[in-house]
């Protein structure tokens, strides 16, 4: 398998678990975990610990690089639409449970299941 990748945690190799211990007797080392995929941090970290280690070491640089917020983001009537859905076991329920709800005005608008599943479909017009 050529798609193996390394955990990006800067201290991953310092957590001395058996699966990190590699090499022949006499030259064993603890090594950064390598897998086809990871569960944490968009598939970049083997554990919450490693993700948190990364943020402690690089978080400030990353935020400065991509742009630090210097003003509050605001939820307004224009961007407060969220998709909502009541789970219902009954298959014969004639009413659609899918809807848009505006978190500011509490207005509700009906939604088809297709629109609900379409992640690009939104009523929001601002950020
Ligand atoms: Zn790790």
Those residues whose beta carbon sits under 5 angstroms from the ion ligand 1 are 7, 9, 12, 33, 46, 50
From first to last of its 127 residues, the chain has per-residue pLDDT tens of 568 999 999 999 999 999 999 999 999 999 999 999 999 999 999 999 999 999 999 999 999 999 999 999 999 999 999 999 877 656 666 566 889 999 999 999 988 889 999 989 998 887 6
What is the CB neighbour count within 10 angstroms for residue 122? 13
Residue 89's pLDDT is: 58
Determine the distance separating the centroid of ligand 1 and the alpha carbon of 114, expressed in angstroms.
Answer: 39
Q: Is the pTM of this model over 0.85?
A: no
Query: For residue 110, what is the enclosing H or E element?
Result: strand 108-110
């Amino acid at each position: 398998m050529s798609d193996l990748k390394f955990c990006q945690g800067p201290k991953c190799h310092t957590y001395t678990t058996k699966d990190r211990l590699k090499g022949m007797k006499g030259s064993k080392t603890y090594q950064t975990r390598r897998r086809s995929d990871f569960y944490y941090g968009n598939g970049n970290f083997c554990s919450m610990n490693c993700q948190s280690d990364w943020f402690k070491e690089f978080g400030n640089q990353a935020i400065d690089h991509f742009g630090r917020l210097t003003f509050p983001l605001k939820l307004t009537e224009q961007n407060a639409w969220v998709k909502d859905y009541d789970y219902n076991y009954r298959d014969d329920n004639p009413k659609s449970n899918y809807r848009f709800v505006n978190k500011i005005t509490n207005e509700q608008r009906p939604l088809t299941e297709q629109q609900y599943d379409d992640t690009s479909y939104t009523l929001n017009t601002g950020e």
